[in-house]
Structure 1
Amino acid sequence: MSRLATGVTVVTTTAEGHDHAMTANSFTSVSLDPPLVLLCVQQDRGFHEAVTASGRWGVSVLTESQRATASWLSTPGRPLHGQLGRVPHYRSESGVVLLEGALAVLECETVQAHVAGDHVILVAQVLRAEHTDRGEPLVYFRSRYTSTR
């Protein structure tokens, strides 16, 4: 699967008063009508517990200039408190954390969850989405971050 090039996102949620974030490349569109997306989350990670408890999450599609952010938010063992302190972000009106400078941002609400091996597939309705044409996408290929150039 490392030969399948994918876009890189940061997914965020808030649970029990704490913001949680993770880098994800297992994110895709499912349906346009209604607008649905899916995210695969490893079951034995803290993010799984947080996003399941919250039910609402944000997705930021990263640009190649956000490679350091992708690396930081995929670092195992990073502290929960303050993990977004070094990441430029804002909170949407609905309370979802989104990253500044992203190619696109989505606010999502989980509508289904399916256990699949050691992961859970979360299907969510897109509540709001915005995009920009500034920047080139960050891509994950051959187990590393790269760009389309």
Structure 2
Amino acid sequence: MSTDTDGARAPRSAPDAAAPRLDPLRFRQVVGRFATGVAVVTTVAGGVDHGMTVNAFTSVSLDPLRVLFCVNRAARFHDVVLDTGLWAVSVLTEDMQDASRWFATRGRPLDDPLRGWEHRRGAATGAAIFTGAVAALECRTHAVHDGGDHSIVVGEVLALDVPDPSGKPLIFYEGEYRGIA
């Protein structure tokens, strides 16, 4: 990055158009070597619960408190969460792989989205928060940014919780679920 006259950082010039196109599968393999936590983002619209597994979730700012997650534009969850503007994040424990898989399943039935996973309603958002989660946040959408085939959803944090203080987080690495040894 270079710096302009105002001290702001300006992007470097675009890469050479003749550069070879990188293989998306190789990209996935390489970035899959970055271990991530696993979370389910939930919202409620018209009395119906919606949720999606994410591993693209991170803190953004301490002042004000902000986090972000990324959602594929083609996912059913995309438009619902953007329309509601309120959502919750449940960071999953290592024994919640089944919930992660369920909420990552494309085209799953929507008639019983929470499938018996114990949860409570967030006071700030009304969204489902898993009672077995290692951490939970409730958020209001602050901004949405273009992220290619995904939207980057930045949220203002409204509430925080640690539902299971002794829980160990579920980790995703090289395409597999893992725990902390």
Q: TM-score, normalised by structure 2?
A: 0.79
In the alignment, what sits opposite 2:92? 62
C-alpha deviation, 1:17, in angstroms? 2.6
What is the aligned partner in structure 2 of residue 140 from structure 1? 172
Distance in 2, Cα, partners of 1:16 & 1:135: 32
Q: Distance in 1 between matches of 2:119 and 2:109?
A: 17
What pairs up with 1:1-149 in 2 under 5 angstroms?
Answer: 1-94=31-124, 95-131=126-162, 132-149=164-181
Runs of at least 5 residues in structure 2 that lack an aligned partner in the other structure:
1-30
**Identity over aligned residues, as a percent?**
46
Is residue 36–residue 171 contact of structure 2 (8 Å, CA) maintained in 1? Answer: yes
State the one-letter code of the partner of 1:146: R
Q: Distance in 1 between matches of 2:146 and 2:48?
A: 25
Unmatched segments (≥5 aa) in structure 1: none
Q: Name which structure has the greater RCO, CA cutoff 8 Å, separation 6+.
A: 1
Instruction: Write the distance in 2 (CA, Å) between the matches of 1:111 and 1:6.
Output: 24
Aligned alpha-carbon RMSD (Å): 1.0
Give the number of the structure whose alpha-carbon radius of gyration is greater: 2
Q: For residues 52 and 65 of structure 2, what CA distance do their matches in structure 1 show? A: 22
**In 2, Cα distance between equivalents of 1:4 and 1:36:** 22
TM-score, normalising length: structure 1: 0.96
Aligned residues: 149
Aligned structure 1 segments of 4 or more residues deviating by more than 3 angstroms: none
